[in-house]
Structure 1
């Protein structure tokens, strides 16, 4: 009997170390509501509908009587990966941009700050609880991706890298959402700013890259070096980073401004690796600033 009580206490201690009261409360509030069920349903319905529509269009294009081409399966995987990245970019900022400002608007933030939980624990717990539901949604789409493996053309390594990239981009967008939620008192303002930053990350970086490519095309080609610095601009773009996982040859094209590199030259650093290095630093800085700005400070 004493051994069983000791074992239960040991499990409780480990549970308290892994899941603090803030994280436990947030998990229950997010996972035990009808909205979570319906959000999961409509997300899977949208992904499944897009996958079935793409398969139907491929069947129509090939006439139905010819053998299936693995390249079409690869295109289906590319389409699903990009579509899911767009859905993540749409949902992740909304899940995190109001976690701190919402507590401030409900006048419960001061009560939360008087507990024994540190600022870092509160911020990280809010981030993990907000993104855990998004991770659950993304993992639930694996059966949809299994349709691609019926036709071949995709390796399990690519699938694992794509899902790890999804988790990373959630952390990046969630970190910016936590930062603006801590800085701004109104949830609406923090949501707008977070979506604006997300739009710049996805669209603004690509626009800057293509503007630079168009500008450099007017320069004589003899004065241009292959694998130029313009490729580093594209490494800031999540779509390009994800596409470099799906098709590694895009990295060489980006660093040579869409010109074929000379034979025998070493391939540059992969876009998705450089993307993860850049945004790991930015996410860490955003979380640090969010933690610093959580508690009110006396003005000197």
Structure 2
């Protein structure tokens, strides 16, 4: 008995396929990957040169080097991911090709997911291409493959979340410039605004109520902060050594580490944003809206004629 394979299930998203063919044939993607890894290599060489100059490669120095490399890649992904998606839909609108895309048989969800996947493919390439750079730390030991996989998983979820934020504003804002500005403003709020609000709230509201103890719990707003969650991940990987590297920044998430909770929150947030994008882009919803306005206008015309 021969098994029949449904070829439609094996088809790649047409939007993703088109974006990959257009972007990967040019020089932009290779140049981006080259510059990205060049920055990582230069920073890594600088870190190692400073530590080797001290003539002491103990466990703490190895962890410090790994942390600096991980933080550098975290910062680069945070800068690049929103820029790849903030002009995905608004750019189609500015080029007057969005209506053509909506007139195809593609579902609105496929368009949104295809745009997101095309942008995230660049991030995946950047992360995978950085593995040889991170493998330098294996020469000194102390860092295992499990820690590296945890870090890279966090990078992918971070890219999905920041990419969803950029895609959300790109769908609801007509201009790519405005979508970029709002995307980065939202990300700055997640990174810095949540910390400022947390510090002020704890110091002005919670701490005065505590008489002889200090507040040592994780404030709920910090679960939305990718930077705090990333610090929690590094501290969780290093244990006591991590606490010495991040003095005063130990974040306790209770029974579950804060970075795991943040991954769940980010995935839920991404799902909500992508659903909103699909709803906004839905041609059927627009058709119903136009038909409703037409019916209301037709009723108003009939009332005017009856009054005459």
Q: Which TM class, normalised by the smaller chain length?
A: 0.7 to 0.9
Asked if 1:53 corresponds to 2:46, the answer is: yes
Following the alignment from structure 1 to structure 2, what is the Cα–Cα distance between the partners of residues 269 and 195?
A: 29
Residue aligning to 2:158 = 169
- CA shift in 2, pair 1:285/1:218, >3 Å: closer
- CA shift in 2, pair 1:259/1:69, >3 Å: closer
Q: CA deviation at 1:260?
A: 9.7
Following the alignment from structure 2 to structure 1, what is the Cα–Cα distance between the partners of residues 108 and 40?
A: 37
Task: Deviation per CA, 1:112-167: give whole Å up to 9, x if none.
Answer: 11111000000000000111011101110011111111112212211100000000
Asked if 1:39 corresponds to 2:32, the answer is: yes
Which is greater in Rg?
2
Q: CA deviation at 1:59?
A: 1.8
Q: CA deviation at 1:223?
A: 6.7
Q: CA deviation at 1:269?
A: 2.4
Residue aligning to 2:146 = 157
RMSD, aligned α-carbons:
2.8
TM-score, with normalisation over the residues of structure 2? 0.82
Gaps of 5+ in 1: 1-5
Q: CA deviation at 1:232?
A: 2.1
Q: CA deviation at 1:70?
A: 1.7
Contact 1:127 1:175 in 2 (8 A): yes
Q: CA deviation at 1:227?
A: 5.3
- CA shift in 2, pair 1:210/1:226, >3 Å: closer
Task: Deviation per CA, 1:53-101: give whole Å up to 9, x if none.
Answer: 01111122x2x3xx42121110111111111111111000000000000
Asked if 1:268 corresponds to 2:255, the answer is: yes
Which residue among 220, 235, 255 is the counterpart of 1:247?
Answer: 235
What is the 5 A alignment of 1:74-85? 74-85=63-74
Residue aligning to 2:275 = 288
Asked if 1:208 corresponds to 2:197, the answer is: yes
Task: Deviation per CA, 1:241-274: give whole Å up to 9, x if none.
Answer: 1121111269xx9xxxx6999xxxx943211111
Asked if 1:236 corresponds to 2:224, the answer is: yes
Contact 1:97 1:190 in 2 (8 A): yes
Contact 2:202 2:215 in 1 (8 A): no
Following the alignment from structure 2 to structure 1, what is the Cα–Cα distance between the partners of residues 68 and 211?
A: 37
Secondary structure of 1:107's partner?
Answer: coil
Following the alignment from structure 1 to structure 2, what is the Cα–Cα distance between the partners of residues 161 and 236?
A: 19
Following the alignment from structure 2 to structure 1, what is the Cα–Cα distance between the partners of residues 176 and 169?
A: 9
Paired residues in the alignment total: 278
Point out the more displaced range, 213-222 or 85-94.
Answer: 213-222
Contact 2:44 2:69 in 1 (8 A): yes
